[in-house]
Homo-oligomer: A and B are copies of this chain.
Amino acid sequence: MDTVGTASIHFSAVAGRSSLADIARLAGVSLATASRAMSNSYGVAPATRARVLRIAEELDYVVSPEASRLARGAVGRVALVVPHVDRWFFGAVIGGLEAELSDAGLDVLLYHVGDADDRRDFFHRLPARRKVDAVVVVAFEVADAERERLERMGVLVVAAGGQDEVYPGVRIDDREAGRRAVDHLLFLGHRRIGMISAVDPDQPVAARPHGRDQAYHDALRDAGLPIDDELVVTIEWSGVAAADAMAALLSLRSPPTAVYCHSDELALGAIRTIRRAGLRVPEDLSVIGVDDHPLAELTDLTTVAQPARDQGVRAAHLLLARLRGQGSPQHVVLPTRLVIRRSTAPPREV
């Protein structure tokens, strides 16, 4: 697909003039000793070590990662596979991962695998092969066929965010999160509750029922309420689509008095439609989201908060522990919590 462009690129080698050999010569020691000094190995006289380090410092010397890794066999890098980079949640998880990983001295390679083409390409070519010690799938549903390909990389795989059950990882309980949202609406007295449900068209694993969907059904059933299919609209993951979905709900003979949205972004889309219809939130209609996106605070949106950055941080810890051969929990489930703002209220008296 890009072979032509790629083949013609010639990278100019540069940087780091000096090599370990230079350092060794200048320090008057052998290459072996210089190497040991640089890597803090045992068996080097403090004095010699100091001398070597000083020379290296002066020469602005840096060990060649390629050579070092070639000789050593390890790589010291981990790949992050992400379906989105421009959505808050993903960015936050990536941020958490990056912080911990780079703190541990690992380099972070970023692989953005967005649409179906990207996916096919990524799992077919496995561009990260031989380049990393581990890969983290960020809120990414790995299909069975893809999983098989991933195996061939022969490296540790960890999941951060998302609902993956196969790889060790960190996540929230989507069912619990959704339940908190719907239960809150029920508690406020709503009996006719709509749901705007989102699926990612590029995530092939849509088969498995989504926890946030189940929560809706669970909550209504437990409240002894009937499920009205009209009240559920399933769309792709986009605020604009949610705005349209809300319009559909408002076109019902008997519209809902409250709407549960799978995410804050969707909730904002829904609110736009409600306002354009001349109705007020929450007086005329309540809306609740999930995520606690930073802008939810600014838009006074009631939501169920999930720790985003923290999922990345914890996933990194889990990854590091396993890389070191230490034991670590298979799955870490982080808590969610209801954040009440001003987009929800009891239903209007009829």
Contacts and interface: CB of A to CB of B under 8 A. Distances in A.
B104 A9 contact: yes
Contacts of A98: 85, 110-112
B80 A86 contact: no
A31 interface: no
A12 B323 contact: yes
Given A7-B40, A65-B131, A265-B298, 15 more contacts: A9-B105, A10-B325, A64-B70, A64-B130, A66-B66, A66-B75, A84-B95, A87-B88, A91-B91, A98-B110, A99-B112, A110-B110, A239-B297, A240-B297, A269-B298
Interface string A5-33: 11111111111100000000000000000
Contacts of A53: none
A295 interface: yes
Given A11-B75, A11-B133, A110 B109 contact: yes
A259 to B, nearest CB: 14
Interface stretch (A147-155, A159-167, A201-209, A221-229): A147-155
A219 B99 CA distance: 42
Nearest to A13: B73
A131 B154 contact: no
Given A15-B129, A324-B8, A102 B111 contact: yes
Given A15-B154, A95-B112, A104-B5, A70 B73 contact: no
Which 3 A/B pairs are nearest by Cβ-Cβ distance? A11-B74, A13-B73, A86-B91
A12 to B, nearest CB: 7
A2 interface: yes
A155 B110 contact: no
27 contacts: A1-B103, A6-B104, A9-B105, A9-B324, A10-B324, A11-B133, A12-B74, A12-B323, A13-B73, A16-B130, A62-B129, A65-B130, A66-B69, A84-B95, A85-B91, A85-B94, A86-B91, A86-B94, A86-B308, A88-B91, A102-B112, A108-B111, A110-B110, A240-B298, A243-B298, A269-B298, A275-B300
Interface residues of A, number: 85
Given A91-B91, A98-B85, A154-B16, A76 B110 contact: no
Nearest to A128: B107
A60 interface: yes
A151 B3 CA distance: 13
A12 B325 contact: yes
